[in-house]
Amino acid sequence: MADFLILGGGLTGCVLATRLKEENPSAHVTLLEAGPNEHENPVVLDPMGTFQMHNSRYEYNYATVPQKGYDGRQVYNAGGKQLSGSSAVNFAMWTRGSVSDYDLWAELAGDERWSYDGMLPYFRKTETHHDPKTADPEQHGFEGPILTTAGARIYPLTDTMHTAFLKGTGLPAITDANSGHPIGVAPYTENWHPKGYRQPAGRAYGLKGVEVVTNAQVHRIILDGNVAKGAELVDGRTFTARREVIVCCGAIRTPQVLLLSGIGPAEELARHGIKQLVDSPDVGLNFHDHIAMCQFFNIKNPDNLGLVAGSPLWNDPSYLLGIPADIVITDTAPPKELKAAMIADGEPNVTDSHPHLQTNRGHLELLPIYAPTEAPLTNLNIPFDGTCITVGQLNLLPTSRGSVTLESSDPSAAPLIDPNYFATEADRVVVRQAMRHTMRSFETPEGQTIIEGEITPEGATALTSTSSDAELDARIKKTAATWFHPAGSAAMGKVVDADLRVIGAEKLR
């Protein structure tokens, strides 16, 4: 019997298991993970292996229900199915939010522990920052398990790209996007190890003294009334816990496990013949994700200069030590347009002091990448041959809300995933601004030295910074997807309290 039984060996589960064991050396901590341990797999460790793991055995390979905001398309959703979860398959970007993001959490939760200042000690505890001489020691840590670097590689286009986005966006150059004030053009920060390999959470934290059980997919939490006693696996095995059961199954699987356990809204449970044990009407609601739009551009003179990954001349060994990216751009949405959009969406009490309208909110993020990243997700067939770059455009604070519900009571079946992408006018304002920032940047003199033209979907015309809202929206609906950052489906204040205890249950977080 475990003292602490953790369901889900992804990023959060691995960190939590390690820290619980450190703080409670005599406690028996058991970590259950649905997938295998791939920590020594070269595909997982290699930065370029990232591009091979979509639609593979390394992930769950989810698909959403048809999305009205994307013209009825179903959208691929990734989720790491292995020890360390999505930290073993992601791009390894190291991105901290704005001070205002966390302070709003604290205000809504009524608990200052969730504020930026409350979270900062844990941000620092996590990392070993790459530059202890010049980094702000109030903002960064230098003894944590995850090594983070920024500006570690200089690519052939680094200086030109940096200048193009400074001019095209009108934003300032900043040296640190992870200081709580990310607005500007900054060096891209990553948590690829400086020697060029991935740092999956379980590998980096070590899991010393933790009982790790892989290939152990959870079916349900075992409840005695409303008291958590353990968990049953899909294969029928059971594990029990003396002190607490802790669910760390991610934003897609967590609501599924809760619902299969009888924790959720009565109507949803009854539809699948599941007895309600804990009334929790908001399980699976408030689900949201980062809307991601990618634009692809052919570069000038690709054959002669080795400017982009895939070219035979792209051969500096340092280029293979991480994802081929060097800057990240963060900005707010235009406030007048955003305010009007929120009013049109029916948001109550939209004044200039509304949290979503503050000038320090990071509404959008741009990431130029020297490769045709995620082209298959947008139904484009672009060769990896050194001729194309990508600009990823993210809506960081979406207002569209969806749900995760059960398709059936079969724990092996994926749940119904409905992020409700691009459902609000506020989200449309943000993504349009991200696209226009990109195109204005490539319309600068510096951008024109790089870019030959946009690669468009079949039947579409190239966009410009003066394209109409309708033209931008049509492209988004046709090609936008996600960069796999789901959240909100077991919301604080609704499903869990500020200590992350499941409301209405005991010994369950």
Q: Answer whether 377's CB lies under 8 Å from 64's CB.
A: no
The CA distances from residue 89 to 27, 44, 78, 293, 427, in Å, are: 31, 7, 9, 20, 27
Q: Answer whether 201's CB lies under 8 Å from 14's CB.
A: yes
Indicate left, alpha or beta for 507 from its phi (over 0: left) and psi (-120 to 50: alpha). left
The gap from C-alpha 440 to its chain's centroid, in whole angstroms, comes to: 26
One-letter amino acid at 94 equals W
Helix (H, G, I), strand (E, B) or coil at 371: coil
Q: How many residues does this entry show for the chain?
A: 509
- Nearest residue to 291 (alpha-carbon basis) of 424, 489, 415: 424
Indicate left, alpha or beta for 23 from its phi (over 0: left) and psi (-120 to 50: alpha). alpha
- Nearest residue to 389 (alpha-carbon basis) of 366, 413, 365: 366
- Give the C-alpha separation, 71 to 478, whole Å: 7
Q: Running DSSP on this structure, what letter comes out for residue 47? A: G
Any residues with CB less than 8 A from the CB of 123 and at least 6 apart, and which? 96, 139, 141, 178
Q: Is 495 annotated as a binding residue?
A: no
Feature table: binding site: 218
Feature table: binding site for FAD: 218
